[in-house]
Amino acid sequence: MSNKNKVVVTGMGVISPSGNNVAAFYNNLTNGKNAIDYITQFDTSQNKVKVGAEVKDFNTDNYFEKKDAKRMDRYCQFAVSAAIEAINTSGVLVADFDEYRCGVIVGSGVGGMNTYETEHIKFMEKGAGRVSALFIPMMISNMAAGMISMRFGFKGANYCTVSACASGSHAIGEAFRLIKNGYLDIAITGGSEAAITPFAMAGFTNMKALSTSNDPNAASLPFDKRRQGFVMGEGAGILILESEKSAIARNAQIFAEISGYGATADAYHITGPDPDGTSAARAMTDAINEAGISPKQVDYINAHGTGTPLNDLYETIAIKKALGSHAYNTNISSTKSMTGHLLGAAGAIESIACIMTIKHGIIPPTINYLQPDEGIDLNYTANKNEKKQVSYALSNSLGFGGHNASLVFEKYERTVGL
C-alpha cells in the first residue's frame, strides 16, 4: 500500500435547497433549517404531491453568459456552477498540471429531465421538426462532466456514473480510486440532479416512493415512525480531489482526506433494499477497511436516510452489522430531513456535509424526528445539532437497483479554510 497515493479534498462547491455555496449550506444544516416548501416550478393543483426541496435564488447570470446557459439543462447548470465554486476554493489552474492527468467524473441519476419534457411536448404538439437540435446534448446525463471539462480544460478521464441515488457517491469513489492508483493527479467529481418536473414527479408519485404529506414540516421524516416516503430535492455537489503530493506541492488548503470507498449490489429488487442489509453493510465495511480503521473509530454517519418505510429500517440493520455494538455509540443523521432527496446528487452534497462536520465539529441534526419506531433505535442526532470532535465520517448512498456506495472521510492535520 506504500506506493498508493493519499487522496485529499482541496475544493468544494454546492448548489442546493439549503444554500448555493458551501458555507451557507453547512450553516443551514447545522441550524436545522428546513428547505422543503411548496413546489413553484409547475402547477401542482392536480398532483398528490405538492412539496419539494427546490434550489432557490439561483441566477444563471452569476455563472454563465446567457447563450451558454441556454445550452444547458438545469441539472447541468447546477453542476457547472458548483464546480466553479469548487475550483475557486481550491485555487487549481489546469496550467499547473498535465491536462491529461486532470479528470472529471460527475454522476447523475436521470440527467436532463427538464429538457426531455420540454422537447417531448414540442414533439407531440408540433411535430418532429420542432424538436431542438440541442435536445440530445442537453438531455444526456454525461453532459455535466463534459461541460465541466470544457470550462476548465481538464482532458483526462471524463465520464458519468449513473446508478440512481448512489450516482454521486460512486463518482467520488471512482475519482478517488483513479488518483489513489496513479492514473490521475486531480479530479473534479460529484453529482447533479434537477428532477422536480411534472413527468418525473408523476412517476415517483405513482410508484409510491414520495411522501404525500403536504405539510413541509412533516413530509421528510427519516427514521421517524410517521415516515411514508421521500421528498424530491435538486441541486449539485462538487469536490476537488487530488493527490496529497500534488496538494502539498502547490501549498493547497486541505479540507479532509478521503480514505475509503465501498461499492456493492443487493442483487435483490428493482426498488426495495435487501431486508437483511448484508450488501449495504459490506459496502460500509469495505470502505472502513480500505481506510485502515476499525468500525469503532467511525464518529459520524451521514445516512442515506430517505424517509421511506423500508430504507430507514434496513439501513439501520446494515449499520448495526457493519459497526457492531459501536453502532449505538456513533452519531447518525439524515440531512435529507432538510434538503429532501437529491437522487444522483445526494451522495455528493452529503459528502460535503461530512467534510464540513470534520472541519467544524458540529453534527447536523435529523429534524422533525418525533416518534421512534421499532428496530430503528440508534442515535439519529434528533432535532438539534451536536458538537463533537469527528475524526472519521462515513457517507452512505443506496440506490434503486440495489446499488450501494459508502465513503470514508477523515481529518487531515493541515485542514484549513472554510
Contact 334, 353 (CB under 8 A): no
What gap in Å lies between CA 406 and CA 328, rounded to an integer?
19
Q: What is the pLDDT of residue 289?
A: 98
Q: What is the pLDDT of residues 284-330, one digit of tens each?
A: 999 999 999 999 999 999 999 999 999 999 999 999 999 999 999 99
pTM of the model: 0.97
Would you list the domain boundaries of the chain? Answer: 7-410
DSSP letters, 133-178, are TTHHHHHSTTHHHHHHHHHHT--S-EE---BTBTHHHHHHHHHHHH
pLDDT tens digits, 236-267: 999 999 999 999 999 999 999 999 999 999 99
C-alpha to C-alpha distances, 213 to 272, 380, 405, nearest whole angstrom? 21, 22, 29
Q: What are phi and psi of 389, to 5 degrees?
A: -70, 125
Q: Compute the distance between CA of residue 127 and CA of residue 125 in angstroms, rounded to an integer.
A: 6
- Work out the pLDDT band at 189, boundaries 50, 70, 90: very high
* Mean pLDDT, rounded, of the chain: 96
Cβ contacts of residue 94 below 8 Å, gap of 6+?
A: 102, 152, 153, 154
The CB-based long-range contact list for 117-124 (8 Å cut-off, 24+ gap) reads 117/197, 117/198, 117/199, 117/200, 120/199
Q: Which amino acid is at 366?
A: T
- For residues 173 and 164, give the distance between their C-alpha atoms in angstroms, rounded to a whole number: 15
Residue with cell string 452519531: 331
The class of domain 7-410 in CATH terms is alpha beta
Phi/psi for 393 (5° steps) reads -125, 140
Q: What is the layout of strands, in order, in the sheet containing 186-193? A: 158-159, 102-107, 186-193, 235-243, 7-15, 256-265, 403-410, 392-399, 300-302, 331-333
pLDDT band at 401 (very low <50, low <70, confident <90, very high): very high
**Would you please indicate which residues are annotated as catalytic (active-site) residues?**
165, 304, 341
Q: What is the Cα–Cα distance from 5 to 85, expressed in whole angstroms? A: 25
Question: What is the rounded average pLDDT of the residues 32-50?
Answer: 97
pLDDT tops 90 at residue 372: yes
Compute the average pLDDT of residues 22-41: 98
Identify the pLDDT of residue 3: 79
Reported confidence tier of residue 413, pLDDT bands at 50, 70, 90: confident
Half-sphere exposure of 209 (CA within 13 A, CB side): 20
Q: What integer is the mean pLDDT of 63-79?
A: 96
Give the three-state DSSP class for 326.
Answer: helix
Contact 131, 119 (CB under 8 A): yes
- Residues with Cβ < 8 Å from 352, sequence gap 6 or more? 12, 14, 22, 25, 26, 237, 239
Model confidence at 418: pLDDT above 90: no
Contact 15, 22 (CB under 8 A): no
Q: Cβ(322)–Cβ(347) under 8 Å?
A: no
Cα-based distances in Å from 117 to 112, 174, 196, 231, 258: 9, 31, 11, 20, 38
Q: Which three cell numbers stand for residue 54?
A: 427546490
- What pLDDT shows up at residue 2? 54
Q: Which three cell numbers stand for residue 387?
A: 458538537
Q: Which residues pair with 257 in a beta bridge?
A: 8, 410
Mean pLDDT of 192-203: 97
pLDDT at 288: 98
